[in-house]
Chain A
Amino acid sequence: MIVEDETTLQKTLAEFLAEDGFEVLCASDGEQAVALAKKGKPDLVLLDIILPKKDGYEVLTELKSEADTKNIPVILLTNLESPEDIDKAFEKGASTYLVKSNYKLEDIAKKVKETLKM
């Protein structure tokens, strides 16, 4: 599942992963993300931090506190890169932290596969 409010980025990432054989769900804000994760039970969540309605940290906290969703690995995919943000993300249970502008789609797909041990 991709949680990204910027539609162009969401669409490109979704298309790339779909081409790699993934079934992709998309959410554009924090509330939608939590609801969709509970309903769709994705194998993995790619989560932005700056999001409307609920930010990425809130989404992460909610996903990790619910029994059905707490085992879903979450990769944060954001343009924030301060050490505090990174520490906060890992404290809240993120599996990996990626800075968008440093990664190619191919590298992101690779990280997704690594996390899912594919």
Chain B
Amino acid sequence: MKIVNDLNFRKQAKELGISMWKTPSFLFLLMGIITIVAMASVYYVSNFYESPEVLVIAESVVVITIFSIGNSIILEVERIARLNKMKSEFVSVASHQLRTPLSAIRWETELLLTKFGKGLSEKQKSGIETINLLAIRMTRLVSDLLDVARIDQGRLILKKSCFDLEKIVQETVHSLIVVAKGKNTNIIFKNSGTPVIVVGDAEKLRLAIENLISNAIKYTDGKGKVEVSVRKKNGFVIFSSKDNGVGIPDEQQSQVFNKFFRSDNAVKYQTEGTGLGLYIAKNIIEQSGGNIWFQSKEGIGSIFSFSLPLCSPVKARHFTAKAGSKHKA
């Protein structure tokens, strides 16, 4: 009976959104039972009837039954796989289509504010600014959804090159200072002054770094402190972002990198958020040949870190050669 419990058709049917008797595990079990019954009956038949015709007919019936059940399992699995693919494609297409109208809103409001702002009252201007900021936020969300769809389809392709990680961290910290000030939070980044050249997709990694630092800012409250650091260790570069924010409850720490996951205290504390940032960051960093990890204590804070491989002279030559030929074209 334990096996039957383990299979749990009802749960599987609910998860897949199909009726119970159509779940692959139910059909598989059914196929097993039929095979056993069939074997037994063939044995029984062969004991009582000497005639080979009866045996052949019995065996044919068994084979046809098993074959048709097997076929329906395959069809059902195929249907589910196809639906899953369609879902990812839908997200891709819909997100892509959303980008044009979103660009139009952003550009139109920007044009209004920067070139035709004369005569607008402060109130009108701040209203248009809000529309502009919200359109930017939505664009960001659409990009995140597109990235998730790409990750799910195995189509997130990184454009690797050698670049200065410290410069990107510096720029990201700089771009987030205003947000941090708004939350009464201090960001500290000690720049070593020497470039730290790593291998990876610079633009995608910028996104990952932005996700980590803006999370740190988002989940600290008043007199917050975020310390960002970049250091070299055994052929790798380690980035860390340490905050004194709300932290992640112990029992939920294993789910942190799951898609759409947000911890209970995070949701209570900050309603805005999609639970996609860390999922995307993890995929980008791992695909770049690095690792991501964290330490956290609820009420005390979190440290999120990742490693990236340093750029070796061979790789550096390879990438500059490629970039050089591009500029000549």
Chain A interface (Cβ within 8 Å of chain B)? Answer: 6, 8-9, 12-13, 15-16, 19, 79, 82-84, 86-87, 90-93, 100-101, 104-106
Contacts and interface: CB of A to CB of B under 8 A. Distances in A.
A90 B326 contact: yes
Contact of A82 (B107, B111, B142, B157): B157
A87 B104 CA distance: 26
Interface in B95-109: 96, 99-100, 102-104, 106-108
Interface residues of B, number: 21
B326 A104 contact: no
A9 B115 contact: no
Contacts of B110: 16, 104-106
Contacts of A106: 110, 114
17 contacts: A6-B100, A6-B104, A8-B108, A9-B103, A15-B115, A16-B110, A16-B114, A83-B157, A83-B158, A83-B159, A90-B326, A93-B329, A101-B143, A105-B107, A105-B110, A105-B114, A106-B110
A6 B110 CA distance: 18
B287 to A, nearest CB: 13
B107 to A, nearest CB: 4
A118 B329 CA distance: 22
Given A90-B326, A93-B329, A101-B139, A12 B107 contact: yes
B172 to A, nearest CB: 15
Given A86-B159, A105-B114, A106-B114, A9 B96 contact: no
Contacts of A15: 111, 115
